């Protein structure tokens, strides 16, 4: 049984709760607070959509839009719930500690009002795919799963739904956890907490990589001793070693080109990704799985699979399920998983050339992982990259390009910077549009090659987001294939 020992008090009956940010998280947190009987004020620095505003006001929630946020005002209030997108400087001032007794993030707030066990998935890259895969594996094992958090549906919405229905709709919740949601955490008790990797990102929000790391680890600091902290042991992923002070049972996972270190305890995957083993965990039977049916490409996805499998199996074990009997179900579910759009998604094939959409790779490390996944097979990638530069160097891609790439086409605002840093390794060219880039890369490709869009940059110079960039890439690829006649 769980041994939750709450550090942080909750507001007393009838107290006023102020929620900041009227996006998905803030609105859901405000609705939950209202349903719990609190007086609620919702503040936003921008306008609030007319429909939301009038619905909330009708329910009795005070809505203040175009309201500048000031730490002086907010810290004088009894209770503040923070939306993840609000940088701490806005409510705490630049130098205040992020953990304050009466300031809580939406995820932690919601988690305090539910008995549904939570499995959290954090990391710089791969969170969404791993969350979806974890949810998929657990559904296949017969669980009733909520999937949300940073993935899309705020946890507060699930809690509200559960409370309104009066019955237990979910047997567990898989929550994708961003550093923005983790950074304020003081009392968060997931039964399983996965950490995939920590590599430079969001350095516009955090003063250093170390601050970003600490934000991610905040989600582990209040875990209970009977829960599982499942962390990537691969040193290249930057998540391990963990700081001291984590009470949960620590379980490593390993999926790398190198074999797992001798005596490895946890879930390890063979280099080719075809088999995985769980071993060395007290009270947990050793197990092996055949994973050769896994469809997603790339090393990053093998790590996501290792993490999700470890999370699913340890949750099921903890819940009293006989995991020895579930191996076949889990293997079938692994083979059936098709992944998420824009993350190493195969969007077309012509003449033995596969077109892979990794538009979600909006930072250098995501592209590095994509390339690493192809290493060891000889160069076969025609890489399309570029977009809006995020300030990080591109040099970490040099090794992956040397190992896996035949040609690079760069586009967008960052293309000259990319050329300066990477232009001397393999044939390199600049394109003015995504269409030109696809046609150049595909024109150079022969059977067995991949045309990979993995930009290492944000999309906002040419598109409205990575989804639009990925969708347009797919359309261009489909049109390119149509022009050549399907098949070959
Ligand atoms: N706002 C202010 N002041 C600010 C910033 C925002 O008043 O300084 C207001 C905006 O005017 C807006 C509201 O706050 O009305 C938006 O709040 P929000 O940015 O927290 O966004 P939500 O709509 O609540 O969505 C959030 C997550 N967004 C962010 O973390 C930026 C969503 O993750 C998440 O799916 C959703 O909660 C449900 O849990 C998105 C995301 O981009 C996908 N996440 C980042 C990422 O994955 O890299 C962390």
* Encoded tokens for 293: 């049916």
23 pocket-lining for ligand 1 (C-beta < 6 Å): yes
- How many A from CA of 163 to the centre of ligand 1? 24
318 and 389 assigned to the same domain: no
290 and 152 assigned to the same domain: yes
Closest-CA residue, ligand 1 atom 28, reads 85
* Encoded tokens for 39: 């007086």
Number of structural domains found in the chain: 3
90 pocket-lining for ligand 1 (C-beta < 6 Å): yes
7 part of a folded domain: no
Closest-CA residue, ligand 1 atom 29, reads 85
Which of 42, 50, 84 to mutate for ligand 1's pocket (most ligand atoms within 8 Å of CB)?
A: 84
180 pocket-lining for ligand 1 (C-beta < 6 Å): yes
Among the candidates 73, 94, 115, a domain finishes at 94
8 part of a folded domain: no
**Overall average pLDDT of the 119-143 stretch:** 96
317 and 190 assigned to the same domain: yes
117 and 263 assigned to the same domain: yes
5 part of a folded domain: no
Quote the crossing angle between the two packed helices 127-140 and 299-318, to the nearest 10°.
40
Is 263's pLDDT higher than 50? Answer: yes
Is 488's pLDDT higher than 80? Answer: no
112 part of a folded domain: yes
User: Residue 486: what pLDDT?
Assistant: 57
263 and 396 assigned to the same domain: no
CB-neighbour burial class of residue 96 (10 A; exposed 0-12, middle 13-18, buried 19+): middle
What confidence tens digit (pLDDT) does each residue in 337-386 have? 989 999 898 899 999 999 999 999 999 989 998 998 887 778 999 999 99
CATH of the domain at 219: 3.40.1190.10
User: Residue 190: what pLDDT?
Assistant: 98
What lies within 8 Å, CB to CB, of 334 at 6+ separation is 137, 289, 291, 293, 294, 305, 309
318 part of a folded domain: yes
132 and 261 assigned to the same domain: yes
CB-neighbour burial class of residue 114 (10 A; exposed 0-12, middle 13-18, buried 19+): buried
84 pocket-lining for ligand 1 (C-beta < 6 Å): yes
389 and 350 assigned to the same domain: yes
If you search the block for the tokens 């979910």, which residue do you land on? 170
Closest-CA residue, ligand 1 atom 44, reads 150
270 part of a folded domain: yes
What lies within 8 Å, CB to CB, of 177 at 6+ separation is 107, 120, 121, 122, 127, 149, 150, 219
Quote the distance between the C-alpha of residue 307 and its chain's center: 12
396 and 453 assigned to the same domain: yes
11 part of a folded domain: no
4 part of a folded domain: no
200 and 300 assigned to the same domain: yes
397 and 367 assigned to the same domain: yes
User: Residue 245: what pLDDT?
Assistant: 84
150 pocket-lining for ligand 1 (C-beta < 6 Å): yes
Which of 18, 19, 20, 21 to mutate for ligand 1's pocket (most ligand atoms within 8 Å of CB)?
A: 21
Compute how many other C-beta atoms are within 10 angstroms of the C-beta atom of residue 82.
32
Closest-CA residue, ligand 1 atom 1, reads 21
276 and 326 assigned to the same domain: yes
Among the candidates 60, 94, 128, a domain finishes at 94
Which of 73, 85, 92, 179 to mutate for ligand 1's pocket (most ligand atoms within 8 Å of CB)?
A: 85
Is 417's pLDDT higher than 60? Answer: yes
What confidence tens digit (pLDDT) does each residue in 89-109 have? 999 887 777 788 899 999 999
CATH of the domain at 47: 3.40.50.720
Is residue 295 very low, low, confident or very high in pLDDT (cuts 50, 70, 90)?
confident
121 and 256 assigned to the same domain: yes
- How many A from CA of 118 to the centre of ligand 1? 21
- Compute φ and ψ for 93, nearest 5 degrees: 80, 160
**Overall average pLDDT of the 136-159 stretch:** 98
126 pocket-lining for ligand 1 (C-beta < 6 Å): no
User: Residue 394: what pLDDT?
Assistant: 97
Asked whether the beta carbons of 385 and 368 are under 8 A apart, the reply is no
Domain extent at residue 314: 107-336
88 pocket-lining for ligand 1 (C-beta < 6 Å): no
Which of 107, 150, 467 to mutate for ligand 1's pocket (most ligand atoms within 8 Å of CB)?
A: 150
CATH of the domain at 396: 3.90.190.20
Q: Ligand 1, closest atom to CA 26?
A: 24
Distance CA(481)–CA(468), nearest Å, equals 20
What confidence tens digit (pLDDT) does each residue in 210-261 have? 999 999 999 999 999 999 999 999 998 998 877 788 999 999 999 998 899 9
Among the candidates 336, 370, 391, a domain finishes at 336
Q: Label the pairing between strands 287-290 and 345-350.
A: unpaired
Helices (H), 115-228: 127-140, 155-165, 179-182, 209-217
């Amino acid at each position: 049984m769980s041994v939750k020992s709450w550090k942080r008090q909750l507001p007393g009956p009838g107290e006023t709760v102020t929620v900041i940010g009227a996006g998905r998280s803030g609105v859901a947190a405000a609705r939950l607070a209202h349903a719990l009987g609190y007086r609620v004020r919702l503040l936003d620095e921008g306008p609030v959509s007319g429909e939301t505003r009038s619905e909330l006001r009708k329910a009795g929630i005070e809505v203040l839009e175009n309201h500048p946020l000031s730490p002086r005002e907010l810290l004088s209030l009894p209770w503040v719930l923070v939306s993840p997108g609000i940088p701490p400087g806005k409510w705490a001032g630049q130098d205040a500690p992020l953990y304050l007794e009466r300031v809580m993030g939406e995820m932690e707030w919601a988690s305090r009002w539910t008995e549904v066990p939570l499995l959290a998935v954090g990391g710089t890259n791969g969170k969404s795919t791993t969350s979806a895969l974890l949810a998929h594996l657990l559904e296949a094992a017969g669980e009733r799963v909520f999937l949300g958090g940073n993935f899309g549906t705020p946890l507060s919405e699930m809690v509200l739904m559960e409370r309104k229905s009066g019955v237990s709709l979910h047997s567990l919740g898989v929550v994708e956890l961003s550093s923005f949601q983790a950074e304020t955490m003081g009392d968060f008790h997931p039964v399983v907490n996965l950490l995939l990797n920590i590599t430079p990102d969001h350095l516009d929000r955090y003063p250093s990589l170390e601050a970003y790391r600490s934000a991610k680890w905040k989600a582990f600091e209040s875990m209970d001793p009977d829960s599982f902290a499942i962390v990537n042991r691969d040193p290249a992923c930057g998540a391990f070693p963990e700081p001291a002070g984590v009470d949960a049972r620590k379980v490593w996972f390993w999926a790398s080109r190198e074999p797992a270190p001798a005596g490895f305890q946890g879930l390890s995957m063979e280099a080719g990704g075809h088999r995985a083993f769980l071993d060395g965990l007290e009270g947990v039977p050793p197990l092996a799985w055949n994973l050769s049916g896994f469809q997603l490409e790339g090393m990053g996805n093998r790590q996501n699979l290792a993490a999700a499998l470890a999370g699913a199996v340890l949750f099921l074990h903890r819940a009293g399920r006989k995991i020895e009997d579930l191996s076949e179900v889990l293997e079938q579910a692994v083979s059936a998983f098709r992944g998420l759009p824009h993350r190493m998604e195969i969007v077309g094939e012509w003449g033995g050339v596969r077109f892979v959409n990794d538009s979600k790779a909006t930072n250098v490390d995501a592209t590095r992982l994509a390339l690493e996944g192809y290493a060891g097979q000889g160069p076969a990638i025609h890489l399309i990259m570029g977009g809006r530069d995020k300030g990080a160097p591109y040099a970490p891609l040099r090794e992956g390009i040397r190992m896996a790439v035949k040609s690079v086409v760069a586009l967008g605002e960052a293309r000259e910077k990319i050329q300066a840093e990477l232009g001397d390794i393999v044939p390199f060219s600049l394109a003015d549009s995504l269409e030109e880039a696809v046609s150049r890369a595909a024109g150079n490709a022969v059977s067995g090659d991949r045309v990979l869009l993995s930009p290492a940059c944000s999309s906002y110079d040419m598109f409205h987001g990575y989804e639009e960039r990925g969708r347009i890439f797919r359309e261009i690829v489909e049109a390119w294939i149509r022009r050549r006649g399907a098949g070959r």
